[in-house]
Amino acid sequence: MSVSFDNKGMSERALEIAAKVETFVRNTVAPYERDTRKTSHGPSDELAAELKQLAREAGVLTPHILGDGDHLTHRETACVLIRTGLSPLGPLACNTAAPDEGNMYLLGQVGSPEMKERFLDPMVRGDMRSAFFMTEPAEDGGAGSDPMLMQTTCKMDGNHWVINGRKTFATGADGAGMGIVMAKSDDGACMFLVDLPDPAIRIERVLDTIDSSMPGGHAVVTIDNLRVPATQMLGESGEGFRYAQVRLSPARLTHCMRWLGACIRANEIATDYANRRIAFGKPLVDHEGVGFMLAENLIDLKQAELMVYWCADVLDTGVLGTAESSMAKVAVSEALMRVADRCVQCMGGQGVSGDTIVEQVFREIRAFRIYDGPTEVHKWSLAKKIKRDWKKAQEA
């Protein structure tokens, strides 16, 4: 059963890549969903390497970045990444998962040629995982949804920067080969590329979280006198937030793309179950309580798809799309939560078991409503924009 979304207006190259990705994820990756190398802290690196090798052989590794280094447009990327998300293991296999996808995009946009050769190229080849160190522990009063609270510091010492602080929810830090660390200097926020592992970055623990799709899980780390060559700072001191904005909107949107694919698949499984399962003399789908839930899923999935492509088109004009990506993130994450919840409900006991991916998709989508900014923070940001726009209108 293929994705039934309308591809009108999509480029031929994107459709060709998407078709190959969909075939690979459905036929090759999906059978791995019961692999015992999936842990509560994410798939093991052994499993990740095996899946990436299969993707490499199928010609679908890092499919959104072409052989000449060119990146698909955001609209084309949506067409492809939705398909990688058809299995929770699909983004990992195809090398389109967070945080690697966002880190690759950032380096591709602003990295120097030397940075791209040293850090970006191995990630594109699928030879190295990465981490992004921004969020800080709440008990330290550090940065979460409010990046201005950043406590991690960096100070110049000769031709190196020395970084000290703590980070949390450092996705994939355990096992990563490079990381992007955010810290603040006297000039403001800064962003550094670092080699991993490094004895100055100590993993305190890997958090037990509701989601389990990302290798290495989400770590709490202590950064103790980490020395980073000045040549490994992105841009200049104080420009960290500017570079974070480059990464922010596209990364929010690619989350929406991948989890949309997962919910499409979950809905397929729930639909199949509802048509096969007989209860009270007829298939479940013929009971309005179930059939209407599946109908509502189609509506939410279509709305989520349209929101993703709308925001992608905005980003393709070259603007940052901060407000648009906030709207998309809220609308898509909330719609997909409703879809995932209905899938579980339609399947009853089967929906809460690990016999299908429906239960995992429910957990992942619940976390997605918080990751990359909780719904409430995005609404608050949009409300501030509404007020600013109103004031400008009064002054005009």
Indicate the pTM of the whole model.
Answer: 0.96
Give me the pLDDT at residue 7, please. 75
Asked if residue 135 and residue 26 are part of one domain, the reply reads: no
Q: Cα 62 to the chain's mean position, in Å?
A: 14
Asked if residue 90 and residue 77 are part of one domain, the reply reads: yes
For residue 63, whether the previous peptide bond is cis, meaning omega lies within 30 degrees of 0, is no
Q: What's the CA angle centered on 106, arms 52 and 137, to 5 degrees?
A: 90
Asked if residue 353 and residue 277 are part of one domain, the reply reads: yes
Give me the pLDDT at residue 5, please. 61
Give me the pLDDT at residue 69, please. 83
Domain limit, last residue, from 236, 261, 283: 236
> Residue type at 69?
G
Asked if residue 367 and residue 252 are part of one domain, the reply reads: yes
Asked if residue 224 and residue 345 are part of one domain, the reply reads: no
Give me the pLDDT at residue 6, please. 64
**Residue holding tokens 């409503």?**
369
- DSSP lists the bridge partners of residue 192 as 181, 233
251-266: pLDDT as tens digits: 999 999 999 999 999 9
Domain count, the chain: 3
* Any domain includes 125: no
Give me the pLDDT at residue 1, please. 40
How far is Cα 145 from Cα 294, in angstroms, rounded to an integer? 34
* Any domain includes 313: yes
* Any domain includes 26: yes
* Any domain includes 110: no
List, in order, residues 6 or more apart from 137 with CB less than 8 Å away. 166, 167, 168, 220
* Any domain includes 38: yes
How far is Cα 119 from Cα 121, in angstroms, rounded to an integer? 6
Asked if residue 48 and residue 84 are part of one domain, the reply reads: yes
Give the mean pLDDT of 262-280. Answer: 98
307-320: pLDDT as tens digits: 999 999 999 999 99
Give me the pLDDT at residue 68, please. 85
Q: What percent of the chain has pLDDT over 90?
A: 96
Asked if residue 219 and residue 268 are part of one domain, the reply reads: no
* Any domain includes 109: no
Domain limit, last residue, from 97, 114, 142: 97
Asked if residue 216 and residue 252 are part of one domain, the reply reads: no
Asked if residue 148 and residue 213 are part of one domain, the reply reads: yes
Asked if residue 263 and residue 215 are part of one domain, the reply reads: no
Give me the pLDDT at residue 4, please. 56
Output the domain CATH number for residue 325: 1.20.140.10
> Residue type at 55?
A
Domain limit, last residue, from 236, 256, 287: 236
Strand 278-279 relative to strand 282-283, pairing: antiparallel
pLDDT-derived band at 67, boundaries 50, 70, 90: confident
Give me the pLDDT at residue 2, please. 41
* Any domain includes 111: no
Q: Contact 74/36 with Cβ under 8 angstroms?
A: no
Flag whether pLDDT at 349 surpasses 50: yes
Asked if residue 220 and residue 200 are part of one domain, the reply reads: yes
The H or E element that residue 6 is part of is: none
- DSSP lists the bridge partners of residue 233 as 192
Q: Give the residue from 229, 214, 225, 224 showing the smallest Cα distance to 176.
A: 214
Classify residue 268 as exposed, middle or buried by CB count within 10 Å of its CB (0-12, 13-18, 19+). Answer: middle
* Any domain includes 248: yes
Output the domain CATH number for residue 194: 2.40.110.10
Strand 153-157 relative to strand 218-229, pairing: unpaired
How far is Cα 265 from Cα 239, in angstroms, rounded to an integer? 40
Give the mean pLDDT of 100-119. Answer: 96
Give the mean pLDDT of 198-223. Answer: 97
List, in order, residues 6 or more apart from 83 with CB less than 8 Å away. 3, 18, 21, 22, 25, 90, 261
Flag whether pLDDT at 173 surpasses 70: yes
How far is Cα 259 from Cα 108, in angstroms, rounded to an integer? 24
Domain span holding position 34? 12-97
Asked if residue 135 and residue 254 are part of one domain, the reply reads: no
Q: Contact 121/111 with Cβ under 8 angstroms?
A: no
Q: What percent of the chain has pLDDT over 70?
A: 98
Q: Give the residue from 343, 331, 309, 358 showing the smallest Cα distance to 82.
A: 309
